[in-house]
Structure 1
Amino acid sequence: MSTPITPTPVAPDDVEIHPASRTRGRTRWAQLVRYSLILFGIVVVLIPVYVLLITSFKGIGDASPTRAWFLPQDWTTENWTRAWDALAPSIWRSVQMVVPATIISAVLGCMNGFVLSRWRFPGADLVFTLILFGMFLPYQAVMIPLMEMLLAVGVPNGIPSLILLHVVFGIPITTLIFRNYFESVPHELIESAKVDGAGMFRTFVSVALPLAIPGFVVVLIWQFTNAWNDFLFAVFFSSPANGPVTLALNNLANGALLTNYGVSMAGALLASLPTLLVYILLSKYFLSGLMSGSLKG
């Protein structure tokens, strides 16, 4: 009768790990670290939003630095009502300022970008460099000359001055975006329009503008956000009676700091809603515009 053979146990060190298993393990750890960092970044960004939101619903006694992290004891919408009453006129003035300033600067930047990318006239690179130079001018250094110039030409203080300033100072970045965008457009499309007898303006209107929609979305979001959130120009070229919402929000916060933090928090959320809505509605087109080369340089 034969003796049964007992298998010899294999030591753990003798087990060979397949390279594919090691790769999958490293991939899972890399994904875990990546998602953890993303989650940490989201939490850091949302913490101020959380404090703003819950404080805006707190009463006078409840809205204090010591209870900043706690939910309201008694939820109230009085802060939102008071903030809206204080900011509604200035919000409408901001709309009157931002919409024309954004559209005009986008159209001018589109025209400049098309010409500088497709019409290689003598000195085109120098002109483009001089236009971009406006992006690097510190606004604080030119406030007094700008004020004297606007007074000399008779531009009214308030919204008209702010529209002109945002158009002028928005042209460099819009020109850069559209020039890089048109550089990514196949040259054959423009050449075919020339072969059909279209001039520069007809080519721009019939061919370039329809192709530039993704670039327009990027520029419109960029310019709308910058103009809406601007505070420096508002301080120098407007007053609380005729200025945008950023100036009114500053006055509201200064007046509410000693009485009720909730009013200033509600006002901050109200002032940020338009830019948030614009980005939410156009975010898909914004990303597609970026991928289409509108910021590729």
Structure 2
Amino acid sequence: MNRLNIHRVLLWGALLLFAAWFLAPLYVMVVTSLKDMEQVRTGHLLSLPTDPTLAAWAKAWSTACTGTDCGGLKPFFFNSVAMVVPAVAVSTLVGALNGYVLAKWRFRGSETMFALMLFGVFMPMQVVLLPMSQVLGWLGIASSIWGLILVHVIAGIPSTTLFFRNYYVGLPDELVKAAMLDGASFWQIFTRIVLPLSTPILVVTLIWQFTNIWNDFLYGVVFSGADSKPITVGLNNLSNTSSTVKEYNVDMAAALIAALPTLFVYIVAGKYFVRGLTAGAVKG
């Protein structure tokens, strides 16, 4: 019993140590964002703010300079929202349809098509920059929110297809066959039988896509225009804008503002993400 207790103490001690190491940067960001510049200059990096203030947050949101524009991160934040919501929804829906077809309505060459689609999961993003910019130019949506939405939908389809296809392979074929014998159509089987059974993988895919698209910088900086830059580009511009005094508290507040949506998603739905993975998201 004593040996068991010692092992448990050592295990918890190691876990707490790793958790503290992992959370230390977040702690520094939070406490620094709540300080004024006098406290930042005179205080210790890990010290708590003596007089907490949200002034740095307010400035980062509405008045901080991002290059020549001093409107804060607010417009960039709403650009990201306008981009992420439709991009996540469309890429998830298309991935679900692809996975459904490739798993339950197999045809000649379906396995080859699936294998070719998997190249998109491992293809470096830099490879598609030039051809994608040409396509956006031909479509007349270059440097716009619609262009960014299209880019992220196309980039996300291989991953979402992989997730759904591997999940649907584990669903009994008898469900689809029985529905077909009852006269159900392709869309009726998909919407009334398959989708209601897809909650775990839907959560996984939505979280995965939301995180990837919200945190993306490369596509955002390459394919956006002056009025369509996402939050990651705005954060980069804010932190690199030169001024007489480097305001670390504003930079930390801006970084937290950019990270809050993904932190919120993982805090609220993190347990469902793990359940979805164990339910078959990476199986097959």
The residue that corresponds to 2:61 in the other structure is: 84
Matched residue, 1:126: 112
| Per-residue deviation, 1:65 | 9.7
Maintained 8 Å contact 2:142/2:224: no
Q: CA deviation at 1:288?
A: 2.4
Stretch moving more, 199-208 or 248-257: 248-257
Note closer, same or farther for the CA distance 1:54–1:26 as it changes in structure 2 (3 Å cut): same
Query: How big is the shift at 1:256?
Result: 6.5
1:229 counterpart residue number: 215
Deviation of 1:226 (Å): 0.6
User: Are the counterparts in 2 of residues 217 and 286 from structure 1 also a CA contact under 8 Å?
Assistant: yes
Change beyond 3 A, Cα 1:255–1:65: farther
Contact 2:29–2:253, Cα closer than 8 Å, also in 1: yes
Once residues 65 and 150 of structure 1 are traced to their aligned partners in structure 2, the CA distance between those partners, rounded to angstroms, is 50
Deviations 1:173-194 (A, max 9, x none): 1001101111111222222111
2:123 to 131, 137, 140: 137
Matched, 1:270 2:247: no
* 2:99 maps to 1:113: yes
- For the pair 1:59 / 2:36, whether they are aligned, the reply is yes
Question: Where does residue 267 of structure 2 map in the other structure?
Answer: 280
Give the TM-score normalised by the residue count of structure 1.
0.87
RMSD: 1.8
Deviations 1:66-121 (A, max 9, x none): 73222234432210110111111111111110000000000000000011111221
C-alpha distance in structure 2 between counterparts of 1:28 and 1:256, whole Å: 55
- What does the per-residue CA deviation read over 1:118-144, in whole Å, with 9 as the maximum and x for residues that have no partner? 122111111001111011111123212
Q: CA separation in 1, counterparts of 2:46 and 2:82?
A: 37
Counterpart mapping for 1:88-237 below 5 A:
88-237=74-223
Change (3 A) 1:68 1:117: same
Residue type matched to 1:283 in 2?
A: G
Q: Which moved more, 1:55-64 or 1:66-75?
A: 66-75
**Could you say if the C-alpha distance between residues 77 and 114 of structure 1 is closer, same or farther in structure 2, counting changes exceeding 3 Å?**
same
Report the CA distance shift for 1:239/1:264 in structure 2 as closer, same or farther (over 3 A). Answer: farther
Instruction: Provide the C-alpha distance between the structure 1 equivalents of 2:283 and 2:14, rounded to a whole number of angstroms.
Output: 27
- Candidates 27, 39, 43, aligned match of 2:16: 39
What is the CA–CA distance in structure 1 between the aligned matches of 2:117 and 2:276, rounded to whole Å? 23
Residues 246-255 or 235-244, more deviating:
235-244
Native 8 Å contact 2:32 2:249 kept in 1? yes
Check 1:64–1:178 CA distance in 2 against 1; reply closer, same or farther (3 A cut): farther
Does the CA contact (< 8 Å) of 1:240 and 1:247 recur in 2?
Answer: no
Equivalent-residue separation in structure 2 for 1:64 and 1:103 (angstroms) = 45
Residues 133, 142 of structure 2: 8 Å contact kept: no
Whether the 8 Å CA contact 1:240–1:248 is kept in 2: the answer is no
Q: Is the 8 A contact 1:231 1:247 kept in 2?
A: yes
One-letter identity of the residue aligned with 1:286: F
Alpha-carbon displacement from aligned partner over 1:246-272 (angstroms, at most 9, x marks no partner):
111111111278421000100111111
Q: Is the 8 A contact 1:249 1:267 kept in 2?
A: yes
Tell me the distance in 2 between the aligned counterparts of 1:151 and 1:187. Answer: 44
User: In structure 2, what is the equivalent of residue 17 of structure 1?
Assistant: none
Instruction: Give the length in aligned residue pairs.
Output: 274
Deviation at 1:222, TM superposition (A): 0.5
Provide the residue aligned with 1:8 in structure 2: none
Runs (4 or more) in structure 1 with deviation over 4 Å come to none
User: Which of 274, 278, 282 matches 1:291?
Assistant: 278
- TM-score of the two chains, using structure 2 as the length reference: 0.90
User: Secondary structure of the equivalent of 1:198?
Assistant: coil
Alpha-carbon distance between aligned partners in 2 of 1:65 and 1:46, rounded to the nearest angstrom = 23
Q: 1:127 to 1:55 in 2, by over 3 A?
A: same
Shift of 1:145: 2.1
Deviation (angstroms), 1:219:
0.4
Which residue identity lines up with residue 177 of structure 2 in the other structure? E
SS of equivalent to 1:67: coil
Percent of aligned pairs with the same amino acid: 44
Which is higher, the Rg of structure 1 or of structure 2? 1
Q: Structure 1: which 5+ runs fail to align?
A: 1-23
Secondary structure at 1:62 match in 2: helix
